[in-house]
Amino acid sequence: MDIRDIHTPVMLERCVELLAPALESRASRERPAVMVDGTLGMGGHAEAFLERFGSIRYIGLDRDQDALRIAGERLARFGDRFIPVHTVYDGIADAVRGAGFPVVDAILFDLGVSSLQLDVADRGFAYAQDAPLDMRMDQSTGITAAEVLATYSEGRLRGIFERYGEEKLAARYARAILAAREKEPIERSGQLVEILSAATPAAVARTGHPAKRVFQALRIEVNGELAALEAALPAALDALDVGGRIVVMSYQSLEDRFVKRAFADATRSTAPPGLPVELPEHAPRFRLVVKGAEQADAAERERNPRSIPVRLRAAERVRAAQPKEGR
């Protein structure tokens, strides 16, 4: 099956529209425009940008080696304009330097679990499919979800379910998991779904799948996603040239709150309260390109259900960093 039949990039046209001004304005200057895709996945966004902007250099980051392989095959026709890098997105600064560029003009983050990870059953990301509880985006390193369930204390499990899943039944689910693992190891997603379902009151079960938030929390814990995002956003903003733009698409509220806060900090004046005139060095470094968070339109949500939860935010660099910021 053609990869384009199983992978539909979310809000593709809106991403192109928002990042095009930064890429086009660079075209007539001394170097080619450079774009970073912090979450390359299967290369759907990458292919569109490389096709539409004929001279750009595209640095694609991904921790998932299967994704890098698939994207590499898909994008091979673009030659050295596509630069794949095996790294988590908080490695963006090293990836940009390693590719030989001092700054970049456009950055895209399409956060969360990819279509590849959801659709390949043996990765264990999807609660609707019985599979080994792995959940590692990079299967060459790190602890699996099964190991988390086998080794974390009741309090620690409750904490990640509350923090990363915003799960109201976190304590109840943590107790159920500890009781179940005393009888046998919890190694498959089907086992975990059964445990959670049995521990869920009937009234709550009718409001949504009982495993959804727990699986989300386990995935975030296994992959250190929020810690990586917290480090990646400032590094990404710092990597942008003046006039450069960043687009971030989030799929759950925790991610979106991180992005909102990072953009708010970057677009805020640093002038001391009461200063009669804002000095240039205190002016905001960035401006918001869209107001608040945008969602996919109704047609896309119907066509591609994975776009339903997306929240898109975008910003543009308007002032160079001061020397003390490392530039």
Nearest alpha carbon to residue 318 among 233, 247, 246: 246
Angle between the 253-266 and 225-239 helix axes, to the nearest 10 degrees?
Answer: 30
Cβ-based burial of 102 (10 A; exposed 0-12, middle 13-18, buried ≥19): exposed
| 43 appears as a binding residue in the annotation | yes
- DSSP β-bridge partners for residue 288: 315
Backbone angles phi, psi at 105, to 5 degrees: -110, -20
What is the chain's Cα-based Rg? 21
Tokens for 206?
Answer: 């009718």
Structural contact between residues 259 and 110, judged by C-beta atoms closer than 8 angstroms: no
| 117 appears as a binding residue in the annotation | yes
The 10 Å Cβ neighbour count of residue 307 is 21
| 216 appears as a binding residue in the annotation | no
| 89 appears as a binding residue in the annotation | yes
| 297 appears as a binding residue in the annotation | no
Q: Residues annotated as binding site?
A: 43-45, 62, 89, 110, 117
Q: List, as residue ranges, the binding site for S-adenosyl-L-methionine.
A: 43-45, 62, 89, 110, 117
